[in-house]
Structure 1
Amino acid sequence: MPQLIEKLVDYGVTSLADIRGCSALDISRLEDDLAVPLPETYKEFLVCMGRGAGRFLNSIDIYFESIVGNQRAAAELLKEDKNGFVLSEMDFVFAMNQGYEFMYFDLKQDTEDPAVYYYIEGSKMPEKKFEKFSDFLIQSVKDFRH
């Protein structure tokens, strides 16, 4: 994560002063509230920048204040879509985009650095977009730079 933060600062996306992480207590409470163990790489993200990182990813609901709401919003989107796909108790929605798209992990498969799945409103099924959460973060930095 330090290398990611360094790139964000170097690219002018944020300053060190704008990067705010979560406390260990925040993360522990989140795991208790959601009743799921969070992946290690995701916890590193939360510790480093879980409460914000300037302009980085600020157009999607990915930061700490949105996490619990993301779970509910994703379930509601799927209910409205009526396509038969539902999230399991071990699927963790870590980001939501404007109520029509969400990203999640399948925690049954990997608790270290899980694959990232995308679901877009109207889809039949989600699609695996990244093999690892860390790949998602790296690509997000690259996308922001261009």
Structure 2
Amino acid sequence: MFSPPDFVRRLVDSNIAEEQTIIPCTGDEVALLEDSVKLRLPPHYKSFLLTAGKCAGALLLDCDWLYPELKSLTDQSRAMLRGYEGSNLLMPDTAFVCLDRREQFFFFDTTTEGCKLFSYFEEDGKFTELPSTFFEFLEEELQSFEAQVRAAPESPYWERFRATARERAKRLQVK
């Protein structure tokens, strides 16, 4: 299961993040997010937000999955779904979109344990139940990033991502 100290340590040890590029949400920001999406988020997911919910270094910087972008993802995804599927495919009212990759989004039902993930790819006509929870997905992504950084630690690609993470962290630092 997700362990905040282990997650932070792995991000730093693998050179995916620097300490200053791991920015947690505040309790007030988590409450604001819940108000924005009109849902109560599961405790385990809140623990992620309170660990690295605003910036997790270079991890998944090509996606929208962090605060404050999370506040609008569910509504944006519902609009995208309506555009592609009309009323033929609807997300549950209790769905929370936790990650957006442009033409694909991932969500979980906030009323179930474990944050079981589903995905939608534009014009697919269906939701795909993934064999993982949000935290298992995060673990898979972290392992993939760790392997990529190990293979080419000094790559300009990674330095660009790290620089972007520094910029994001600087912008989102609690004043």
Shared fold per TM-score greater than 0.5: yes
Q: Partner of 1:65: helix, strand, or coil?
A: coil
Question: TM-score w.r.t. structure 1 length?
Answer: 0.91
Q: 2 CA distance for matches of 1:143 and 1:80?
A: 33
1:56 aligns with 59
Query: Which residue does the alignment assign to 1:87?
Result: 91
TM-score by length of 2: 0.77
What is the deviation of 1:126? 1.3
Kindly indicate whether the alpha-carbon contact (under 8 Å) linking 2:94 and 2:110 is maintained by their aligned counterparts in 1: yes
In the other structure, the counterpart of 2:160 is: none
Structure 1 109/7 Cα, relative in aligned 2: closer, same or farther at 3 Å?
Answer: same
Q: Provide the residue aligned with 1:123 in structure 2.
A: 124
When you count helix as a share of all residues, which structure comes out higher?
2
* Structure with max Cα Rg: 2
Alpha-carbon separation, structure 2, partners of 1:11 and 1:129: 26
Aligned length: 143
Distance of 1:68 and 1:31 partners within structure 2: 8
Task: After TM superposition, give the deviation of residue 144 of structure 1 in Å.
Answer: 1.0
Q: Are the aligned partners of 2:85 and 2:123 in contact in 1 as well (CA < 8 Å)? A: no
Contact 1:90 1:107 (C-alpha < 8 Å) held by counterparts:
yes
Counting aligned pairs with the same residue, the percent is 22
Do structure 1's residue 142 and structure 2's residue 143 form an aligned pair? yes
The residue number in structure 2 matching 1:106 is: 109
Higher RCO (CA-CA < 8 Å; seq separation 6+):
2
Say which is worse superposed, 12-21 or 120-129, in terms of deviation.
Answer: 120-129
Gaps of 5+ in 1: none
Q: Is the 8 A contact 2:18 2:57 kept in 1?
A: yes
Structure 2 unaligned spans of 5+: 148-175
CA contact (8 A) 2:85 2:125 kept: no
Residue 70 of structure 1 corresponds to 73
1:101/1:118 contact within 8 Å kept: yes
Q: Hey, what's the Cα distance between the residues in 2 that align with 1:52 and 1:3? A: 16
Please tell me the residue identity of whatever aligns with 1:94. Answer: C
State the partner residue of 1:97. Answer: 101
Matched, 1:18 2:40: no
* 1:69-111 deviation digits (Å, cap 9, x = unpaired): 211221121112126111121011111112x11010012332x
